[in-house]
Structure 1
Amino acid sequence: MDDLKLISGALSGSPSSLLLLRGHGRAPVQVHLTLHPKCLRIRGLSVYEDEKHHTWLHLVMDTGVLQVQLCQEAIPSGHMGLTISPLTLSTMPWMWTLHSGSKYVDPMSRFWRIMHHVKENGVEEMKLELMDDS
């Protein structure tokens, strides 16, 4: 079995993340992030953009509870759709704002719990879940 090493996030440039390494000199497997984007705004069909101009693709999952999988993906601004699908507008908020560090609030005052936020193999992913009391 590979030996596992836990190293503080200071090595990854994020003071509050956890870096998991496998074996000797191999690339990180997964980094759990606790520093989340402050704001995500819709910029095109299935595309959100954060305050640092990173783009995030989203996938809606409804398994009895509405969840959204966001994946940070570099998309040149010229490749983003200029229009937003009516279906996207009716099911997804046009913006999320970070609220109290562990959840987001949308313009309809609904709260979304951050289920996980990781960076795996260089790709940042975040899963949000609509909270029951929203």
Structure 2
Amino acid sequence: MAQFPPMVHVTSHPACLRIRGPSVYEDQDERPWVPLVMETGSALQVQLRQEDPSEHVALTNQEPFSIMLWVWDLYPGGQDLDSLGRFWRIVHHVLDDGLEEMILELMADP
């Protein structure tokens, strides 16, 4: 059985995440990412885990498909632009036990 390092910070972020179906995004390499929307006081965050969605959709508190963003595109400086023209910053992106996890946080309007 392969041994993975405990946790590694990832610096190569997905160039884009596009909605593939209910509560599932897909990156440019066709890898599935499962989102979980979180409220952290004054900030809105989305946790994305690169994993098989069929194993986790029923176990997580997912937003309805109709209100999920259609796309995030990576911009310079570690920011993503969503389909509504809002910027999100990458707060956290790690590889943990073979699975990637990324947290995006909605940035306040300038």
TM over 0.5: yes
Give the TM-score of the pair, scaled to structure 2: 0.81
Give the corresponding residue for 1:31. 8
The change in CA–CA distance for 1:45 and 1:70 in structure 2 (over 3 A counts) is same
**Over the residues paired in the alignment, what is the CA RMSD in angstroms?**
2.3
Higher share in strand: 2
Does 1:68 find its partner at 2:46? yes
Partner of 1:117: 93
Cα distance in 1 between the residues matched to 2:9 and 2:24: 23
Gaps of 5+ in 2: none
Give, in angstroms, the shift of residue 101 of structure 1.
Answer: 4.2
User: The residue matched to 1:126 in structure 2 has which SS?
Assistant: strand
What is the match of residue 15 of structure 1?
none
Relative contact order higher in (CA < 8 Å, ≥ 6 apart): 2
Among 103, 109, 119, the alignment partner of 2:79 is: 103
Please give the per-residue CA displacement for 1:92-121, whole angstroms capped at 9, x wherever unaligned.
Answer: 311000010401001211000000100000
- Structure 2 counterpart SS, 1:89: helix
The question of whether the paired residues in 1 share the 8 Å contact of 2:36 and 2:63 is answered with no
> What SS class does the counterpart of residue 65 from structure 2 fall into?
helix
**Structure 2 vs 1, CA of residues 75 and 59 (structure 1 numbering), >3 Å: closer, same or farther?**
closer
After TM superposition, the runs of 4+ consecutive aligned structure 1 residues lying more than 6 A away are: none
**1:87 has 2:64 as partner:** yes
- Report the identity percentage: 51
Which runs of no fewer than 5 residues in structure 1 stay unpaired?
1-25
Aligned amino acid, residue 108 of structure 2: D
